[in-house]
């Protein structure tokens, strides 16, 4: 390590803080997935996790921790092009990400990503129909959802059947997708009530609107 190298502070499995920004250890060196900065320190390559491009990245900046381990199995709903999935792929070196995406175009990018990153299992499917992928997924350690639909909370609840007891589910709630006329706080409370009435206690609510307009992440424990 040269004396000019920045300090690399380990945060959790695969996650590091360098120069005040969060990074994951790049599983596929020399490759940037969505134009993020690559940084090499002491012959190890890191990818900057941009909170403006990833709600989970914003959650990390705000909370300074994440509920993922190197061997976690994760069900990811609304995977898109795989921006956030790629960082989870860096973290879960001995785990799996079942990445569900309904739209064909982003799914194609996800499929390309999964060819280089063997811990990503892309599923072209509708998260409203967990019965279509339940046999493949079985039970996971974390459910994460990022779907901007009016019935986003209902979709999340349906998928919590696939979450192991005692584990966590995270939903990035987009308030304006649920109701444009109500305040975000009222909508988050409505989402919490809906989850609570189905037996899922919300243990954390994290406002990420500084990076992701009209969004909060709710964390439930099953």
Ligand X SMILES: C[S@@+](CC[C@H](N)C(=O)[O-])C[C@H]1O[C@@H](n2cnc3c(N)ncnc32)[C@H](O)[C@@H]1O
Residues that bind ligand X (CB under 6 A): 54-55, 77-80, 83-84, 100-103, 106, 126-128, 146-149
Q: Which is nearer to ligand X, 41 or 207 (CB)?
A: 207
d(CA 157, CA 128): 10
Query: Which residues make beta-bridge pairs with 100?
Result: 77, 123
Q: How far is the CB of 14 from ligand X (least distance, A)?
A: 17
Which residue, 21 or 129, is less far from ligand X as judged by CB?
Answer: 129
Identify which of residues 40 and 134 has a Cβ nearer to ligand X in the complex.
Answer: 134
DSSP string covering 66-103: -S--TT-EEEEES-TTSHHHHHHHHH-TTSEEEEEE-S
Choice between 127 and 171, CB closer to ligand X: 127
CB of 44 to ligand X, least distance (A): 24
The Cα–Cα gap between 112 and 109 comes to 5
Closest approach of Cβ 176 to ligand X, in Å? 12
Q: From CA 83, how far away is CA 86, in angstroms rounded?
A: 6
CB of 5 to ligand X, least distance (A): 30
Query: Taken in order 159, 54, 40, 64, is the CA torsion positive or negative?
Result: negative
């Amino acid at each position: 390590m040269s004396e000019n190298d920045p300090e690399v502070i380990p945060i959790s499995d695969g996650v590091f803080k360098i120069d005040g920004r969060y990074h994951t250890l790049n599983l596929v060196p020399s490759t940037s997935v969505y134009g993020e900065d690559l940084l090499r320190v002491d012959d190890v390559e890191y990818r900057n996790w941009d909170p403006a491009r990833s709600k989970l990245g914003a959650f990390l900046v705000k909370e300074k921790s994440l509920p993922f381990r190197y061997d976690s199995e994760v069900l990811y709903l609304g995977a898109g092009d795989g921006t956030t999935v790629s960082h989870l792929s860096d973290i879960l070196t001995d785990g799996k990400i079942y990445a569900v995406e309904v739209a064909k175009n982003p799914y194609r990018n996800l499929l390309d990503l999964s060819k280089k990153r063997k811990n990503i299992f892309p599923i072209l499917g509708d998260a409203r129909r967990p019965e279509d992928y339940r046999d493949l997924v079985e039970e996971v350690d974390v459910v994460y959802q990022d779907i901007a639909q009016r019935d986003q909370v209902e979709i999340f609840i349906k998928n919590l059947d696939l979450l192991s007891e005692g584990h966590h589910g995270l939903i990035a709630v987009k308030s304006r997708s649920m109701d444009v006329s109500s305040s975000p706080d009222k909508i988050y409370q409505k989402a919490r009530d809906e989850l609570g009435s189905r037996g899922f206690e919300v243990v954390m609510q994290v406002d990420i609107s500084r990076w992701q307009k009209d969004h909060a992440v709710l964390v439930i424990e099953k």
